[in-house]
């Protein structure tokens, strides 16, 4: 898509000369005959670069630059002047001009200046994008996963972190809301001091006394004892379990937020009062439950256990279970299983809680009648192994799953019966 250059110059002939040259070079060109008209176009249209005449009746080039830079620092501005001086150039650069050209100028010099300014802008935007990605990655070392739903969520973090408003992080228990809240704070372009408070940590009204502070009377004189909100002024407050505040506490917080010089990043599992919900509504981030990002289960297990081995059936159970307690429950389950399994032993179904192990579908019992003449159990077992390997196209891990065996057990029986079928 062609980039758009805005020419602000009171000289009609100059505007058309520039337009012809830049149109031939592949740019879209918008034109304004005065500083005031140029500011209107800048407010209404997406502009990639401005060519701005220094001397114009009414609002001159420096005046336009001053006003424009109050709202946008990204769009490059090249000043055009027939009265170039060192003092003018220095003042223009201080106001944010990218470059300046002295009239009369060569058309090729104009094209080169425009191309250079746009290239530098594109480079600056790419650097900013990469920095935002790096800051998010650095801010979330504990947020593990590559699923599409998690990638989409993390892709929003730089924009949420850069916004000026308060943030609400919602999600089921155990999804990692507090980790994400910290990542938002650490990804913000301007780092503020961080205070943290857990509304679920204290009983009853002690939570709200600690949060809002309280007034005590000593010798007939009332004294306000600072609360968490007072101490967090000028910084960021990470308020966990916001939904645990009473209805009155939520209303009080909603009334304070518009006046408070702080940024609130809150987490909640349950519903909030309508007033508080509206106060936080512009920036609400929802952390998906683990059952919606099952692809992340293996990565999370590896994060918690390192290279500790698991049998195929154990992996299958972990992947099928719905994890109502989400990532926190997964961590408890696998760390307990690792403690139950002997050193060097792979974690198996027997080491997992019954509810997790039961997530595997138990195959129906196959009716089998013993023939009158009896049967060789070894021959039956050998035949079942052969059929499982055929169905699994020679994959021993899959064949072991079909037989309800660990891979180690299947390998033992293949060696026992002298079977060479299958692949590693």
45-66 pLDDT, tens digit per residue, is 889 999 999 888 888 888 888 8
Do 240 and 115 belong to one domain?
A: no
Look at residue 423 and tell me if it is in a domain: no
Q: Report the candidate in 218, 228, 316 with the shortest Cα–Cα distance to residue 264.
A: 228
> Measuring CA to CA, how many Å separate 299 from each of 66, 179, 293, 306, 328?
52, 17, 11, 10, 14
Comparing 57-71, 158-172, 301-315, the range with the smallest average pLDDT is 57-71
Q: Is 116 helix (H, G, I), strand (E, B) or coil?
A: helix
Last residue within a domain, chosen from 288, 310, 329: 288
Last residue within a domain, chosen from 97, 127, 157: 127
Higher pLDDT, 417 or 278: 278
Q: What does the mean pLDDT of the chain come to?
A: 85
234 phi and psi angles, rounded to 5 deg: 85, 0
Do 314 and 204 belong to one domain?
A: no
Look at residue 171 and tell me if it is in a domain: yes
Do 171 and 121 belong to one domain?
A: no
Q: What is the pLDDT of residues 120-148, one digit of tens each?
A: 888 877 776 666 555 555 545 568 888 88
Do 298 and 272 belong to one domain?
A: no
Question: Do residues 333 and 353 touch, judged by C-beta distance below 8 A?
Answer: yes
Question: Do residues 98 and 117 touch, judged by C-beta distance below 8 A?
Answer: yes
Give the chain's domain count: 4
User: For the domain that residue 411 is a member of, what is the CATH number?
Assistant: 1.10.10.60
* CA atoms within a 13 Å half-sphere pointing along the CA-CB vector of 24: 9
Do 281 and 168 belong to one domain?
A: yes
Higher pLDDT, 282 or 17: 17
User: For the domain that residue 24 is a member of, what is the CATH number?
Assistant: 3.40.50.2300
Predicted pLDDT at 348 = 92
Q: Is 375 helix (H, G, I), strand (E, B) or coil?
A: coil
Predicted pLDDT at 365 = 44
Look at residue 118 and tell me if it is in a domain: yes
Do 89 and 158 belong to one domain?
A: no
Q: Is the pLDDT of residue 291 over 90?
A: yes
User: For the domain that residue 323 is a member of, what is the CATH number?
Assistant: 1.10.8.60
Last residue within a domain, chosen from 233, 265, 288: 288
pLDDT above 70 covers what percent of the chain?
Answer: 88
Do 149 and 267 belong to one domain?
A: yes
Look at residue 135 and tell me if it is in a domain: no
Q: What is the pLDDT of residues 165-193, one digit of tens each?
A: 899 999 999 999 999 998 888 887 666 78
* Long-range interactions of 259-262: CB distance < 8 A, separation 24+: 260/229, 260/233, 261/233, 261/234, 262/192, 262/229, 262/232, 262/233, 262/234, 262/235, 262/236, 262/237
Q: How close are the terminal C-alpha atoms of the chain, in Å?
A: 52
Look at residue 422 and tell me if it is in a domain: no
Place of tokens 């019954």: 354
Q: How confident is the model at residue 70 (pLDDT cuts 50, 70, 90)?
A: low
Higher pLDDT, 132 or 398: 398
Do 322 and 216 belong to one domain?
A: no
CA dihedral 91, 92, 96, 101 (to 10 degrees): -150
**Mean per-residue pLDDT, 261-277:** 93
Do 232 and 284 belong to one domain?
A: yes
- Tell whether the torsion through CA atoms of 130, 132, 136 and 139 is positive or negative: positive
**84 vs 31: CA distance, rounded Å:** 23
Look at residue 371 and tell me if it is in a domain: no
Question: Do residues 58 and 64 touch, judged by C-beta distance below 8 A?
Answer: no
**287 vs 385: CA distance, rounded Å:** 44
Do 273 and 148 belong to one domain?
A: yes
* CA atoms within a 13 Å half-sphere pointing along the CA-CB vector of 320: 15
**196 vs 182: CA distance, rounded Å:** 10
The residue range of the domain holding 267 is: 144-288
Question: Do residues 53 and 10 touch, judged by C-beta distance below 8 A?
Answer: yes
Q: How confident is the model at residue 369 (pLDDT cuts 50, 70, 90)?
A: low
Look at residue 132 and tell me if it is in a domain: no
User: For the domain that residue 194 is a member of, what is the CATH number?
Assistant: 3.40.50.300
Question: Do residues 348 and 311 touch, judged by C-beta distance below 8 A?
Answer: yes
> Measuring CA to CA, how many Å separate 18 from each of 5, 55, 84, 292?
10, 17, 19, 55
Q: What is the DSSP string of 130-174?
A: HHHHHHHHHH-TT-----HHHHHHHHHHHHHHHSSS-EEEE-STT
Where are the alpha helices (H) located in 81-106, listed in sequence order?
A: 86-94
Look at residue 50 and tell me if it is in a domain: yes
**153 vs 71: CA distance, rounded Å:** 29
Q: What is the DSSP string of 61-83?
A: HHHHHHHHHHH-SSS-EEEEESS
Do 274 and 153 belong to one domain?
A: yes
**Mean per-residue pLDDT, 31-52:** 90
The structure's pTM equals: 0.55
């Amino acid at each position: 898509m062609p980039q758009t250059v805005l020419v602000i110059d009171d000289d009609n002939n100059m505007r058309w000369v520039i337009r012809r040259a830049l149109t031939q070079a592949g740019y879209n060109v918008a034109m304004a005959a005065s500083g005031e008209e140029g500011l209107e176009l800048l407010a209404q249209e997406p502009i990639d670069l401005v060519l701005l005449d220094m001397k114009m009746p009414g609002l001159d080039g420096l005046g336009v630059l001053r006003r424009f830079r109050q709202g946008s620092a990204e769009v490059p501005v090249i000043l055009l002047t027939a009265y170039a001086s060192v003092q003018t150039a220095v003042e223009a650069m201080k106001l944010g001009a990218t470059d300046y050209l002295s009239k009369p100028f060569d058309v090729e010099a104009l094209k080169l200046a425009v191309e250079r300014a746009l290239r530098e802008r594109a480079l600056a935007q790419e650097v900013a994008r990469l920095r935002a990605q790096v800051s998010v990655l650095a801010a979330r070392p504990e947020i593990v996963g590559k699923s599409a739903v998690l990638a989409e969520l993390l892709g929003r973090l730089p924009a949420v972190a850069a916004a000026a408003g308060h943030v609400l992080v919602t999600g089921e228990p155990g999804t990692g809301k507090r980790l994400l809240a910290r990542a938002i704070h650490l990804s913000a372009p301007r780092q503020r001091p961080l205070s943290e408070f857990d509304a679920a940590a204290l009983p009853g009204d002690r939570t709200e006394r600690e949060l809002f502070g309280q007034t005590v009377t000593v010798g007939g004189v009332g004294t306000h004892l600072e609360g968490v909100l007072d101490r967090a002024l000028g910084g960021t407050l990470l308020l966990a379990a916001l939904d645990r505040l009473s209805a009155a506490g939520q209303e009080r917080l909603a009334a304070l937020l518009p006046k408070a010089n702080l940024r609130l990043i809150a987490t909640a599992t349950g519903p909030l009062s309508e007033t508080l919900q509206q106060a936080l509504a512009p920036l609400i981030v929802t952390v998906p439950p683990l059952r919606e990002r099952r692809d992340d289960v293996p990565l999370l297990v590896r994060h918690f256990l390192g290279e500790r081995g698991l049998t195929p059936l154990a992996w299958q159970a972990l992947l099928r279970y719905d994890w109502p307690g989400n990532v926190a429950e997964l961590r408890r389950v696998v760390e307990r299983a690792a403690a139950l399994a002997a050193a060097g032993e792979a974690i198996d179904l027997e080491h997992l809680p019954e509810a997790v192990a039961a997530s595997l579908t138990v195959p129906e019992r196959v009716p089998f009648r013993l023939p009158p003449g009896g049967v060789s159990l070894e021959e039956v077992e050998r035949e079942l192994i052969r059929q499982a390997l055929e169905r699994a196209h020679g994959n021993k891990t899959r064949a072991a799953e079909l037989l309800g065996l660990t891979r180690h057990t299947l390998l033992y029986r293949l060696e026992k019966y002298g079977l060479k079928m299958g692949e590693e």
